[in-house]
Amino acid sequence: MSTIVVFTLSALGHVHPTLPIVTELVGRGHRVVYYCGEDVRGKIEAAGAEFRPVPWDFKPVERAQQPRLSAYALDQARCAAALLPQLLAEVEALAPACTLVDFMCLWGRIVARTLNLPMVNICSGFALGHGVLPPRPMLMALDIGPAPVPGGREVLELRRLTGQLAKRYQVKPLQTQFDLLSMDGDDVLVCTARAFQPRAGGFPDRFHFIGPSFAPRQGEDAVALPTLDDRPLVYVSLGTVFNRKHDFFRQCIDAFADGRYQVILSVGEATDPRALGPLPAHVHAHSYVPQLEVLTRTAVFISHAGMNSVSEAISQEVPVVAAPQAADQFTIAQRVAALGVGRNLLPFQRSAKHFRGATDALIENVGVRARCHALNEAFKGAGGPARAAQVIEARMA
């Protein structure tokens, strides 16, 4: 039995893709020790891993009205500076044969490289290479926003603090917050298929496109869905981070006020569904719904275009109306539109008229379901958690 140490972020979009891989590794007889935030302990232990807490609270940064990657990257650097001595001692004592490290987990990368451990990078979004994301100046403007002083100060402090870390540990300093998004790894597991990845031919052999990695989530079956009828269902969600958007949800409610469609809104834990006001009988708003189950009933998914959400939609062959909010979501939304499995709404198009028009167009397009089916077949053929485990075992060998 080999020991494998996992480092990832406690955001669900980062945790969920790792869980089927952990289950596969445990089923093959390996010991998996998983470092993450306390709030996801139950999910990790249910997958068969030994949980170890990372005692750092990222929620104040994640739950900002408009989260900034600059603030998140700086908080990660502070976490690394505080916790690395303890983490390095613990992991050295574990003597793992391999580490599995999230592509945004700074302290995990530092532990793996400082201890000279084999490192497999797990990337829950697109593999990052030339031309995959928008140009850096555009990303900086989107992240820092119209009031640049807080974001600018965060970037300067990030450079200073990671410069100190670089002198002590085996890590390069981060020049901008986007350097947090790293493809460093002896192998890189990319949680999509080559058919969905932009510029897929430009990546070397250490990149393994394993397809989406998801499974029914612990406890989701305990959440009851509202009573639905035979009308097409429109499902609306902005994920778990960029969801404090009352105006967005109100526009979606107005778009489908006539009752042609049923609507389920998943508004997130930070939003009280009652704040949206009285709803017609065919519109249902909840802080949380079992997304995989909802998608089995869905005709069109209005989404922030996070990779997990889009992949789960395509796995049910559901077309997507993409309303990207940040970072790689814009690239994912563009890819959805380019492959004909959905529509991409730009920021100035987030109105009731555009939501309704895009939904009607996808419902009426007889070819969109066939394209969703073809992409889903590519997802299935990519190998999934079993292939991920094979890559990890080969790296250990």
The single-letter DSSP state of residue 66 is S
State how far the Cα of 372 lies from the Cα of 43, in Å rounded to an integer. 29
Q: What is the pLDDT of residue 49?
A: 98
307 within 8 A of 328, measured Cβ to Cβ: yes
Q: What is the pLDDT of residue 391?
A: 98
Q: Tens digit of pLDDT per residue, the chain (397 long)?
A: 899 999 999 988 899 999 999 999 999 999 999 999 999 999 999 999 999 999 988 877 776 666 788 888 999 999 999 999 999 999 999 999 999 999 999 999 999 999 999 999 999 999 998 877 766 666 666 666 655 556 778 889 999 999 999 999 978 899 988 899 999 999 999 999 999 999 998 899 999 999 998 876 555 555 678 888 999 999 999 876 555 677 888 999 999 999 999 999 998 776 777 778 889 999 998 988 889 999 999 999 999 999 999 999 999 999 999 998 877 888 999 999 999 999 999 888 889 999 999 999 999 998 999 999 999 999 999 999 999 999 999 999 8
* DSSP structure string for 65-84: SS--HHHHHHHHHHHHHHHH
Q: Do domains 3-211+383-396 and 220-380 have the same CATH topology?
A: yes
Q: Which candidate, 55, 81, 68, places its Cα nearest to that of 162?
A: 81
State how far the Cα of 292 lies from the Cα of 225, in Å rounded to an integer. 12
Q: What is the pLDDT of residue 68?
A: 82
Give Dmax over CA atoms of the chain in angstroms: 63
Q: What is the pLDDT of residue 12?
A: 86
State how far the Cα of 239 lies from the Cα of 308, in Å rounded to an integer. 9
CA distances from 210 to 141, 188, 197 (A): 32, 10, 11
State how far the Cα of 192 lies from the Cα of 213, in Å rounded to an integer. 8
- Looking at domain 3-211+383-396, its CATH architecture is 3-Layer(aba) Sandwich (3.40)
Q: What is the pLDDT of residue 25?
A: 98
Domain map of the chain by residue range? 3-211+383-396, 220-380
* Domain 220-380 homologous superfamily, CATH: Glycogen Phosphorylase B; (3.40.50.2000)
Residue 61 half-sphere exposure toward CB, CA atoms < 13 A: 19
CA distances from 121 to 99, 100, 154, 267, 395 (A): 8, 6, 26, 31, 12
